[in-house]
Structure 1
Amino acid sequence: MTDVRVAFLMAPEGVEQIELTDPWDALLAAGGEPRLISTHGGRIQAYNHLDAADTFAVDETVDDASVDDYDGLVLPGGVANPDALRLSSRALAFINGFFATGRPVAAICHAPWTLVEADAVRGRTLTSWPSLKTDIRNAGGSWVDEQVVIDNNGPNTLITSRKPGDLPAFDEAFLAQFAAATS
């Protein structure tokens, strides 16, 4: 995975820390380059459920970031993070750029909420935190309760998982799919 550059998109606060750090560390261990993209510069505030955790430096804002500079996109969850991202037209445009150019996208837990808003789940099969099931179905997607789902029924590969407990399978799946997309 050397030279694979992956955007991790987050709002300034509300991301579930383990859903950021675990895939980030897995990508680093595989030789890839993760970059933190946000709707605002500075630092983002991560959470351990409802408790404030660490902060992380933003590498680039969505205003300055170009999809062409990245091989894939990871959307960590947390409840507040995807809810804030879905209100940002700039974040949605950035996400849609990955679908338009056929680059893989990985989303965990509540992150598919943002994909619903980006109209990126229609005709796709995915999983998420169970409370998003109706939203995904109403947006034209098929929701399944599985540890990890890899959907190739569209212009790109979409990798989704349900919760932090699925992170080992999520990491393995997104790393394999991102490596395959760049080879």
Structure 2
Amino acid sequence: MARYGMVMDMRTCVGCQACMAACTAENQTPFWNGKFRTHVEDKAQGTFPDVRRVLLPRLCMHCENTPCLSACPTGATFMTEDGIVKVNYDRCIGCYACCIACPYDARYAYDREDVNKEEELYGKFTSHKQPHVDKCTFCDHRVSEGREPACVSTCPTNTRIFGDLDDPNSEVHKLATSGKAQALNQSLGTSPKVYYIPS
């Protein structure tokens, strides 16, 4: 069984936000309220006159040690056999305990207003039928068909590299084990499956 993960090569991200657009179209995220499963933070690093721009692609870290999962009182948050952390919308009661527990701020409320707006935009082809907490799923519906997540397949600079962390032949495994790519905030002990190659 695969154990999926992603590497972000911050040396190549240009901040075009194609990943956000692809994710929004694929997963019907509530862009109308500024809510996204993935986004690119635009930061300034350093102090004048030695200042530089840093682009930090962000999404759910699909942690091995998941604080959001243990915080969920209904079992709506769960991890699949291949390591993807998901939300069962039917079991989610919208208490937002998982949102509070997530140290990466990777979850958001898909509230009643969002559900109504989605229905207005997409008609009967809506993905989100009731209010719940939403987050990145690594586009598991695409992965199960042998395709890459939408954000990965649309990235024009190949910043996002997706694959099986346990497959020694995969690029994501090689980068994650080489020491080039590092997980964010390792001191938190969450064991994220998203790694970053610094710029």
TM-score, scaled relative to structure 1 = 0.29
Q: TM-score, normalised on structure 2?
A: 0.27
Question: Which structure has greater helix proportion?
Answer: 1
Q: Which has the higher contact order (CA 8 A, sep 6+)?
A: 2
Bigger radius of gyration, 1 or 2?
2
Structure showing the higher strand proportion among its residues: 1
